[in-house]
Amino acid sequence: MDSRMTAQQTILGGAKVWSKGGNPYHDPKTGQFTSGAGSDDQPIITVTAPRSSSKSGQHWSTKNSSVRVPEQIRQKIDAVAKEFYKSTGKELIITDGMRSAQDRAKRMLYKFKHGDFKTYRGHVGASIAKIFRDGINNGEREDKIIDDMKNEINLNLKDGHIVSYHLVNRAVDFSVKNFSSEEKKALHDAI
């Protein structure tokens, strides 16, 4: 797979607010899946883009050495990848894992600049989007806007309001680029 290709992002896994055993929902407009088992020990898994090599029998790999996979969700990743491999004969590629607030702010700025204000929802997403809009309207430099967004992310994180599970080591992104509808269903079922 060409590492220059972009890919859609998909959020999968579990979170306290979802009903136990809830069915994943796929939004064809955004390409996102949302699912959850409703317990603290079931992580969120986020799904996105390209490739590297995996350990024998692991059935997943990282796109490169910069991707840090959270240890606390490795068993969940292994189980999803094993089930997906059983169904498709393909391995999953992890393109993103643990992130800092600085990195999240940069990624959010990129999405906001390109008109995506739907990925980050709720009051935290809205407050960070407001910082972006106010900064642009006031003619601030991007590095200043990113710093202000990072500070808002950290303040909310301290209060337990998480804008991204990547920040608390409970998320990874898998490549779904060029997946057939059957492979997307297999991933959905594996989750």
Both tokens of residue 51? 């490739």
* Amino acid type, 7: A
Whether 32 shows a pLDDT value over 50: the answer reads no
Residue-level pLDDT at 31: 44
For residues 130 and 169, membership in a common domain is answered with no
Q: For 70, which DSSP code?
A: P
- State the total domains in the chain: 2
For residues 67 and 37, membership in a common domain is answered with yes
Q: Which domain holds residue 144?
A: 101-158
Condensed to tens digits (0 to 9), the pLDDT of residues 98-108 reads 888 999 999 89
Q: Say how many residues make up the chain.
A: 191
For residues 42 and 135, membership in a common domain is answered with no
Most confident range (mean pLDDT) of 8-17, 23-32, 100-109, 169-178 is 100-109
Whether 41 shows a pLDDT value over 80: the answer reads no
What would the mean pLDDT of 53-65 be, rounded to a whole number? 76
Condensed to tens digits (0 to 9), the pLDDT of residues 122-139 reads 899 999 999 999 999 999
For residues 21 and 75, membership in a common domain is answered with yes
Residue 85: inside a domain, yes or no? Answer: yes
Residue 2: inside a domain, yes or no? Answer: no
